[in-house]
Amino acid sequence: MGDIRLVACSDQNALGRETNRFVGEALAAHPGRFVALAVGDSTLPLYAHLDELGPSWAGRAIMPVDELVPPPADAGSRFAARLAAALPETLRPRLVPIQVDEDPDLAAIALDARLRAEGLAAVVLGLGPDGHFAFNQPPTPVDARTRVVPLAPANLFRLGAVEPSKGALTVGVTTVLAAGSILVIASGPGKTEALDHLRNGPEDPEWPVTWLRRHPRLSVAIGPQT
């Protein structure tokens, strides 16, 4: 179990700079093809300058850490669409959506196998008030793989109008722990308790984010209102 690298960020601009620094270092250090990015309100604005990493993106692909199931009626509410809108235009061709239109459970198995085969260089995660990351919601065991999960009512409510979506295909705990490096963005209201569990609490399936402390290259960027 490695030490957590904690970075205090005064505002969104500082969080964006830390995200760029993290992704740049991860691409330089790890050969995996994919970079998985969270699509929450606290993380999407941080990707605006990822194109500044330039040649570091050669041979790499970008994906969301999860996707709604079944797909929302509004195609623009799909997580892949939200991520595409947040990325610089030059990086959008590198985006690989998670396909959930036919059989999401089979898609989860295929995605897990693909990430193991091609490698996950880096993951940028948000932090849920209930301690979830991606949609590994409590309770989540440490051996949870990439899979389809029902969304807790509070988490579904925070997403707004995404009908008929009731669940998500999410990268699992084992998938994330196999990544080259992990960055957690802890910013926004209601994150204090979850952040305390991440930093100080014992490992606990009721606080899934605590499993991330097993990773030897875990960074946490702490923004305002946490």
Could you tell me the CATH number of the domain that includes residue 41? 3.40.50.1360
> What mean pLDDT do residues 62-86 have?
98
190/32 Cα distance (integer angstroms): 33
| Residue 31, domain member (yes or no) | yes
Q: Does 226 score more than 90 pLDDT?
A: no
Are 173 and 211 within 8 A, CB to CB? yes
Report pLDDT for 2.
66
Token match 């995404």: residue?
A: 162
| Residue 150, domain member (yes or no) | yes
| Residue 143, domain member (yes or no) | yes
| Residue 79, domain member (yes or no) | yes
Report pLDDT for 86.
98
| Residue 140, domain member (yes or no) | yes
Are 174 and 109 within 8 A, CB to CB? no
Are 95 and 63 within 8 A, CB to CB? yes
Give the pLDDT confidence of 140-173 residue by residue, as tens digits.
999 999 999 999 999 999 999 999 999 999 999 9
Mark residue 225 as left, alpha or beta (left: phi above 0; alpha: psi -120 to 50; beta: remaining). Answer: left
| Residue 202, domain member (yes or no) | yes
| Residue 54, domain member (yes or no) | no
Question: What's the total number of domains in the chain?
Answer: 1
13/114 Cα distance (integer angstroms): 33
State what percent of residues in the chain have pLDDT above 70.
99
Domain that holds residue 178: 4-49+59-222
Q: Which two tokens stand for residue 224?
A: 């305002």
| φ, ψ dihedrals at 129, nearest 5° | -55, -30
Are 104 and 148 within 8 A, CB to CB? yes
Give the pLDDT confidence of 126-137 residue by residue, as tens digits.
999 999 999 999
